[in-house]
Chain A
Amino acid sequence: MIAVAADTSAKPAPSVGGWTRFSVFARRNPTIVLGATMLLFMAAVALAAPWIAGDPRLMTPGNRLLAPSAEFWFGTDHLGRDVYARSVFGAQISLVVGLSVAVVSVAAGLAIGLAAGYYRRLDGVVMRFMDGLMAIPAILLAIALVSLNKASVWIVIVAISIPEVPRVVRLVRSVVLTTREQPFIEAAIGGGSRNLKIIVRHILPSTVAPLIVQATYITASAILIEAALSFLGAGVPPEIPTWGNMIASSRLFLARAPWTIFFPGAALALVVLAVNLMGDGLRDRLDPRLARRM
């Protein structure tokens, strides 16, 4: 773990010769750079949506199910809405939900995992609870949570975060259990450090590298689950365009207007692919034991 920390600090700093260093980094880590580039592009599209696309909710019945053209790049749907505009705005929800779920579940899982790993008396109870939570299929748990509450972006984020928490807890706990046996922890205890200080100063840093990798995979899975919830009608309010609810509302028109499904579907697949590529690249870089294996 110490070697890992040293490794990450050696990342190229934006200084003189920064470009050369970046190109070396890019050649050694092509998947990270490719994934990050795709993701940055999508994030830029999502942020610039109001300027680069028209009104995603505007219905023009005269323009129903038009094929892609110079005027409507991705065609129109059965209500005459611009599929390009809806796809561009759909990126916002996917990215916001993906990143928020990663932050929420990592924060919650980190706190619980540190406590369970360090305070042995908590461990048994907490881990049994996590085992139970892990047995529930994530998408069903999210459906149950969303169906019991008024549809909103927040409830979707919470609903997707809860099933991800046990995975983070397990990871953090295992790191804590190996780290706490290290001689330097004994030294810190001997030196009279308080528990909280030991956890924050000496144990927390070891969890950073594996958590970064885990967070990228959580982002990918959260984007997929959000899309699935929207597709099933258990997602964010239907007036917000998302890739999932675009596909759901167009599914009866698959034969006549396949573009209404293919464009949001491709956008979804590309974003998840970008995040997964980053995750694989980061894992290979931050976890040398796994490098080139998976």
Chain B
Amino acid sequence: MIAYIVRRLLSMLPVMAIVALFVFLLLHLAPGDPAAIIAGENATPANIAQIRKALGLDEPLWKQFLVWVGSLLQGDLGRSIFWGDPVTILIAQRAQPTASLALTTLSVAVTVAIALGVTAAARPGTLLDRSVMGFAVMGFSVPVFVVGYVLIFVFAIQLKWLPVQGYTPIAEGVGPWLRNLTLPSIALGMAYVALIARITRATMLDVLAEDYMRTARAKGVAPRPMLLKHALKNAAVPIVTVIGIGVALLIGGVVITETVFNIPGIGRLVVDAIARRDYPIIQGVIIVFSGIYVLVNLVVDLSYTVLDPRIRY
């Protein structure tokens, strides 16, 4: 098992190397002078020269790539052009709000989605099943920011139940922290719930059609334990796979949600960097988020052995 984990960790390296190569080429193969583009339209030649030097654009391409990969391996993502601070520090400073948002959304969305999927699969074809499936199609179709503004308008502006926007650090109390995260988590989780509910229902329907489920029913296993113990356990592997793949939705959605709800996280860092053309920040966040995505899916792979004892590595 440990050998397998080490092997899988090593297999992350080529994927991350390609991410790094791609991000690098993006900047260097862009048409025109990247330094001039980053400097913006009102830049003086001195500004441009300064940026070119800061990004090391004077060196030959292969050398730039090696230098860049070398510093990446040391955990150095370069310096922000606007702030002048190391990108790793800027990201670390904003990690808490983003991690809070992602984790609350993940836990709530997975619970709700599995509950919805199992209930729908237990009574296929009924009004309840159809409503869950209808909700799933809607959840995919309404963008995060539209859901966000509707939630703000109804629950914050009209009903005044929850704050309009902002973030309270968890150190100032779990209550206020959760109050601020409630609406953003619902907005961000919508598409994720839809995705997981759909796959849960589909795999549950497959499992429920198996012979051993008929046997269980014939033996007189009560409906609830049959659904949760016999069926859901056997449906776990595909569901967990989709939870892992769907993390991409969360990572992309964080950027938008933080803008809608004015949460000072990593997503806001990127969005502010767009207008300032602060490319080292965008580049650094891509590397970090891609790394998280690859790691999450590695954990998902490893969880298969726990979920299904037949799978051995």
Contact = CB atoms under 8 A, between A and B. Distances in A.
Contact of B143 (A133, A136, A144, A224): A224
Interface string B279-313: 10011011001100110000000000000000000
Most B C-beta atoms less than 10 A away, residue of A132, A251, A261, A272: A132
A141 interface: yes
Contact of A228 (B16, B34, B143, B273): B143
B279 A148 contact: yes
Contact of A269 (B22, B146, B252, B290): B146
Nearest to A255: B157
B18 A147 contact: no
A272 B17 CA distance: 35
A205 B145 CA distance: 40
A179 interface: no
Nearest to B271: A232
A138 interface: yes
Contacts of A266: 146
A230 to B, nearest CB: 10
A148 B27 contact: yes
A294 interface: yes
A228 B256 contact: yes
A293 B206 contact: yes
A148 B26 contact: yes
Interface string A246-270: 0100010011001001100110110
A76 to B, nearest CB: 18
Interface stretch (B63-71, B97-105, B148-156): B148-156
Given A140-B252, A234-B274, A293-B202, A247 B18 contact: no
A164 interface: no
A25 interface: no
B127 to A, nearest CB: 17
Interface stretch (B44-52, B133-141, B178-186, B225-233): B133-141
B255 interface: yes
B293 A137 contact: yes
Interface string A132-167: 110111111101111111100000000000000000
B252 A137 contact: yes
Interface string B253-292: 0011001100000000011011101010011011001100
Name A's interface SS: helix
Contact of B252 (A139, A220, A262): A139
A261 B205 CA distance: 39
A220 B191 CA distance: 13
A273 B141 contact: yes
Contact of B18 (A133, A143, A255): A133
Contact of B153 (A129, A227, A258, A268): A258
Contact of B30 (A128, A149, A277): A149
B112 interface: no
Interface residues of A, number: 46
B149 A138 contact: no
A144 B283 contact: yes
Interface string B118-143: 00000000000000000001101111
A247 B137 contact: no
A255 B294 CA distance: 40
A231 interface: yes
B282 A147 contact: yes
B146 A265 contact: yes
B57 interface: no
A132 B259 CA distance: 27
A219 to B, nearest CB: 12
A126 to B, nearest CB: 11
A276 interface: yes
B198 interface: yes
A228 B289 CA distance: 18
Given A138-B248, A147-B279, 8 more contacts: A135-B15, A143-B270, A147-B282, A148-B38, A228-B145, A232-B255, A247-B149, A254-B149
Interface of B: 14-19, 21-23, 26-27, 30-32, 34, 37-38, 137-138, 140-146, 149-150, 152-153, 157, 198-199, 201-202, 205-206, 248, 251-252, 255-256, 259-260, 270-271, 273-275, 277, 279, 282-283, 285-286, 289-290, 293-294
Interface of A: 128-129, 131-133, 135-141, 143-150, 220, 224, 227-228, 231-234, 247, 251, 254-255, 258, 261-262, 265-266, 268-269, 272-273, 276-277, 280, 293-294
12 contacts: A135-B19, A139-B256, A140-B270, A140-B286, A144-B282, A147-B274, A148-B38, A148-B279, A232-B271, A232-B274, A247-B146, A269-B142
